[in-house]
Homo-oligomer: A and B are copies of this chain.
């Protein structure tokens, strides 16, 4: 077990402010208890105002001023914001949307990951930055680009993408005949004679072949990985500081583990209230209850995910401090939440939590996005909470992560598969995973969110819902294993697995038919509970340990292996997980709605996300309350 010091930081844009203000800002950052400051990631037009002409003076001075207050610097490569002149050099660098429209200049992320010229420009600026600052001890970490995939930018239908896709297909399938076979193109005479005949799967009359779409999703993900890698490779020989990317929450359009493999630390951008309003799959009542706190499980899920993506090392690179500008509705956090969110991250093993941003910019796209300072440089509410966290860190200064006994297997390819083939309008891979995670969190467990090829042998309980294919790792589970629905029912080419899956040795069960249900229809289970959205008909000799009220298997079990034949609602999912956890020798709780716990190597933390006080073993925890006890 490793322990690392817990630290706080902030995102800062010296280029947005008058220079004479910088020293004051730097001093106030230090006084607020911050030790990290991220800079530079959107400043390409200031670093290189014309092609090949660089202006480092301002950046040098900014680094000096910040370092003078003992702030460690995270320097970003500015590739998410190519300057306007870049388009004159590479007019075809833009991504193209599904209907064929270019996605132009005027905001950010206006590039296609497949464009060779822009990828080389990105490597170039990374290398130039590395050469200049790579050995500068004040530069203590690097961020590459910013929020890959944000604004739906992973997938592009440009000519550059089409060309690269054909090359990628040729590499993967070697011959058009092999591709035709793998995709089943005979189905509607969709057979190709040459790779050059194959287009991206957009603008088809009705849906394209799911295998075609999955290939394009994989290709698109690989393009992100390749794009990130050229920057990592450019920087790697020039610096010893860790390389980081800041993933955007709930973005599943590329494989974060694959990108993470080229980096040293994973970080993510956590906007609990924005995400609740913008992208949470939950009832209106739930959203209203947690309107000013964020969902009690969504952040934790990401924390556990990025701990894995970072191979144990992870940060929050951007932490919401107040109302944001981009969700449909943007209320203010409940007082105390900026503190709670930080402590929840630390409890999950975060080394660093950086707030976004230092001072609210009065201009441009994010002028209504709160910072630690108001636009007029006065303290915003979160500043005091930041200072409070900094003070509290003195008593719990280190991030020690206890080995979790429970794992949830999460898989990006499966998210793409079910996006391509939802079969029921409300089915998404992410939401299914989050609802499994929610059931585990309600039990009070510490959870690892792990990829399909993780070592699962040490866990007392493993959940593997909705995995397109069945990973071999599941065979090594010695604890209790709960799979399904949909797990192992498809091949790697998104066709139906034959024999019908899941084909897990030791559990004789197969899915013979699937049903998707409208919101008003549910499948009641014998003894209580219900499936919604999804129900599978099972065959095989495994015991039906739960059944529907009609007597169909709802849970098929054989020893420690279980397959779940539907999507349980929250209550039911918790009940099923609790029972299996009991069989695993775990001691599941039934935490009240909004109360959540997480252990480190030495502490137990209790967080209250509810708008009312809740009780933990007799201790009353106020709304936004953080309770810590020794283990």
Contact = CB atoms under 8 A, between A and B. Distances in A.
Contacts of A207: 107, 365
A510 to B, nearest CB: 8
Given A423-B330, A513-B380, A516-B331, A365 B210 contact: yes
A107 B364 contact: no
A414 to B, nearest CB: 15
Interface string A526-547: 0000000000010000000000
A489 to B, nearest CB: 10
Interface in A394-441: 421, 423-425
A516 B498 CA distance: 52
Contact of A284 (B331, B360, B493, B520): B520
Contacts of A423: 325, 330, 368
A499 B81 CA distance: 30
Given A107-B208, A518-B328, A496 B193 contact: no
Interface string A347-370: 000000000000011111111101
Given A108-B206, A188-B108, A191-B83, A514 B323 contact: yes
B500 A374 contact: yes
Given A83-B189, A362-B495, A105 B199 contact: yes
Interface stretch (A42-50, A65-73, A217-225, A263-271): A42-50
A421 B362 CA distance: 13
Contact of A104 (B101, B204, B381, B499): B204
Given A187-B42, A520-B284, A376 B500 contact: yes
A515 interface: yes
A185 interface: yes
Contacts of A520: 284, 288
A365 B206 CA distance: 9
A329 interface: yes
A78 to B, nearest CB: 7
B500 A151 contact: no
A100 interface: yes
6 contacts: A16-B187, A82-B189, A106-B201, A187-B364, A188-B365, A331-B516
B183 A364 contact: yes
Contacts of A184: 16, 361-364, 367
A153 interface: yes
A84 interface: yes
B186 A104 contact: no
A512 B378 contact: yes
Contacts of A514: 323, 330, 368
Contacts of A498: 362, 375-376
A575 to B, nearest CB: 24
A151 B207 CA distance: 10
A282 to B, nearest CB: 13
Interface string A374-387: 11101011000000
A381 B513 contact: yes
A204 B368 contact: no
A296 B229 CA distance: 59
Given A108-B206, A367-B496, 7 more contacts: A16-B184, A43-B186, A105-B199, A208-B365, A288-B520, A323-B514, A331-B515
A209 B107 contact: yes
A517 interface: yes
The 4 A-B residue pairs whose C-beta atoms are closest, nearest first, are A184-B363, A187-B364, A362-B496, A45-B189
B84 A361 contact: no
A291 interface: yes
B189 A81 contact: yes
A512 B360 CA distance: 11
Contacts of A291: 518, 521
A189 B517 contact: no
A376 B498 CA distance: 6
A465 interface: no
A246 B49 CA distance: 49
A277 interface: yes
A516 B185 contact: no
A161 to B, nearest CB: 15
A109 interface: yes
B424 A328 contact: yes
A394 to B, nearest CB: 29
B512 A42 contact: no
A38 interface: no
Contact of A106 (B212, B360, B491, B537): B212
